[in-house]
Amino acid sequence: MNNSMQNVKTPSTEKWTVNGKYVIITGATSGIGLSAAKELAARGADLGLIARNRAKAEQVASELRSIGGGRTRVDIFLADMSSLASVRQVAEIILAQCPRIDILINNAGAMFDTRQTTVDGLEMTWAVNQVAPFLLTHLLLDRLQASGTARIINTASHGHKMAKQGIRFDDPGAEGLYRFPQSLMGGATIRYAETKLANIMFTSELAQRLEGTGVHTYCFDPGLVATNFNQNNGLMARLTMAAMKLFSRTPEKGAETLVWLSDSDAVTGQSGLYYTDMNVSTPSSPARDRDAARRLWDLNVRQASISS
């Protein structure tokens, strides 16, 4: 992402713990992110919450400070993750206020059942789930590297396996997936799966580019979790999610691997891997395509309008 990634760090011999670490997390006001934030606060982490709704974020921040016994620092940073300008603005504010960042958790995600475009002309699900975390990571990377040893954790999904064709580089705007008849055959779901596939590929490619810097990357599958996800897509989507909740795990269970990746010394030195239930897991064949991962990187560089 920038030349500073060439700076090789001497590995720290200190045992890793999230206690005393500063964690930036997106999507922490509900679901998996909220459950993880609560547990991280209980374990002594300080938190920077990137949120869209100030009132909701203030409520969560108050709860997190209480969990931390009044010793926990909780900062609120407002951003619309569908806007590249907003992501850039929030990164600038974070860098101005946070002299140290130890962990970046890219957890926010969404799915849209009709094709929508952002102010930047990007398809909405792709913009929120992949381009926004790609850009945010790029903008905060120097500060993460300055910590000496740091972690970047991306929330992926077992659902990435539904993107059997891999990333559709010939249709980056997913127009075909939202067009009849594909729209009636789960096109929106496949698009979501494609973004989760991209999260895994981004994690592995970033690990390659950060080798020797002291910054390690991780992604994980939280499992099928009972959250408020996909509640913005109409009655049918809400009914589907309600039915799925009968077979879902709790947000606390879904957050277990995220908390473990944030806190465990056992994964120190590992990088670029995909985890399920606190174990290394093997993602789909398209997720392991190194050439496609590099193509995805180049695509995201263009979409986020940054230098590689």
Answer whether residue 293 is part of any domain. yes
pLDDT computed for residue 12 by the predictor: 55
pLDDT computed for residue 15 by the predictor: 95
Structure-block tokens of residue 126 = 């792709």
Cα–Cα distance between 25 and 51 in angstroms, integer? 9
pLDDT computed for residue 239 by the predictor: 47
pLDDT computed for residue 165 by the predictor: 94
Structure-block tokens of residue 156 = 């992926």
pLDDT computed for residue 6 by the predictor: 46
Structural domain count, the chain = 1
Q: In a structure prediction context, what are the per-residue pLDDT tens digits for the chain, which is 308 residues long?
A: 654 444 555 455 689 999 999 999 999 999 999 999 999 999 999 999 999 999 999 999 999 999 999 999 999 999 999 999 999 999 999 999 999 999 999 999 999 999 999 999 999 999 999 999 999 999 999 999 999 999 999 999 999 999 999 999 999 999 999 998 888 879 999 999 999 999 999 999 999 999 999 999 999 999 998 656 555 545 444 444 444 555 579 999 999 999 999 999 999 999 999 999 999 999 999 999 999 999 999 999 999 999 75
Is the torsion defined by CA of 247, 276, 31, 90 positive or negative? negative
Residues 6+ positions from 170 with CB-CB distance below 8 Å: none
* Domain harbouring 150, CATH code: 3.40.50.720
Answer whether residue 194 is part of any domain. yes
Answer whether residue 135 is part of any domain. yes
Taking the mean position of all CA atoms in its chain, how far away is CA 155? 5
Answer whether residue 49 is part of any domain. yes
Answer whether residue 299 is part of any domain. yes
User: In 3D, which of 93, 88, 86 has the Cα closest to residue 138?
Assistant: 88
Single-letter code of the amino acid located at 160: H
pLDDT computed for residue 136 by the predictor: 98
Domain of 105 in residue numbering reads as 17-304
Q: What is the 3-state secondary structure (H, E, C) of the chain?
A: CCHHHHCCCCCCCCCCCCCCCEEEEECCCCHHHHHHHHHHHHCCCEEEEEECCHHHHHHHHHHHHHHCCCCCCEEEEECCCCCHHHHHHHHHHHHHHCCCCCEEEECCCCCCCCCCECCCCCEHHHHHHHHHHHHHHHHHHHHHHHCCCEEEEEECCHHHHHCCCCCCCCCCCCCCCCCCCHHHHCHHHHHHHHHHHHHHHHHHHHHHHCCCCCEEEEEEECCCECCCCCCCCCHHHHHHHHHHHHHCECHHHHCHHHHHHHHCHHHCCCCCEEEECCEEECCCCHHHCHHHHHHHHHHHHHHHCCCC
Cα–Cα distance between 133 and 187 in angstroms, integer? 23
280 and 228 Cβ atoms separated by less than 8 Å = no
C-alpha separations of 286 from 166, 169, 245, 283 in Å: 5, 13, 29, 8
Residues involved in catalysis: 192
Answer whether residue 6 is part of any domain. no
> Tokens 């009968």 correspond to what residue?
246
227 and 25 Cβ atoms separated by less than 8 Å = no
Answer whether residue 186 is part of any domain. yes
* This prediction's pTM: 0.90
Answer whether residue 3 is part of any domain. no
